[in-house]
Amino acid sequence: MQKLIEGIHHFQQEAFRTHQELFEQLSRRQNPDTLFITCSDSRIDPNLLTRSKPGDLFILRNAGNIVPPHGASNSGEAATIEYAVTALEVKDIIICGHSHCGAMRGLLQPEKLARLPAMASWLGYAEMTRRIVQDNYAQLDGDLLLDTAIEENVLVQLENLRTLPAVGSRLVKGDLHLHGWVYVIETGEVYAYEPRSSQFVPLAEYRFPDTELASRRRNTFEI
């Protein structure tokens, strides 16, 4: 706690004063362009990763960067996404997975969740991820299997995202874009899903789509 308290003092005395005008503007209104959905993992800092300022990102975090599909539950995730899309009118939604994800490791090794029943239940919203990996990547194991699950889960959660009425309406309208990213903690690299190649490619090689595209073999989300 002492470290956090000292950090607040530093923020108030230095960082806040440097950006006081910005914070005064934000006290009246927020106008983020992007909803950033990522894992609760302490090793991920969306603002540091994207070099964004306060007010640039509307952030939703949970274990496994999961989006329950429409009708699955009366979830805080659905409410947060609806607010971002309808009230704030964000233009982009990013779902960002990450390397060494503990949630995905638990999904692949459910026996490790014996003492975490709430987590085991929550990961039910990633059951499609588990089945896809089980049925299509039996030849993989270890870190390769985990990395594949992390990527597939980003795509599955994008599919779930598209089922939400507020998101679906904006996609039809054509003024909302969905993006799938994976952040590699140890190298700082970010990979983005490229529907033209059905692959995750380095972000520098990612071509932002002019129009929304039907994607990959399941043809269920737009990017």
Active site residues: 39, 41, 43, 98, 101
Across 173-203, b (16+ Cβ under 10 Å) vs e yields eeebbbbbbbbeeeeeebbbbbbeeeebeee
Beta-carbon contacts of 38 under 8 Å, excluding residues fewer than 6 positions away, are 44, 46, 59, 60, 61, 65, 94, 95, 96, 97, 98, 183
- The H-or-E segment that residue 95 falls in is strand 92-98
3-state secondary structure 9-69: HHHHHHHHHHCHHHHHHHHHCCCCCEEEEEECCCCCCHHHHHCCCCCCEEEEEECCCCCCC
Report the distance separating Cα 70 and Cα 187, nearest Å. 35
Cβ atoms of 222 and 213 within 8 Å: the answer is yes
SS3 assignment, position 196:
coil
Give 96's strand partners. 38, 181
Q: Which residues pair with 183 in a beta bridge?
A: 98, 190
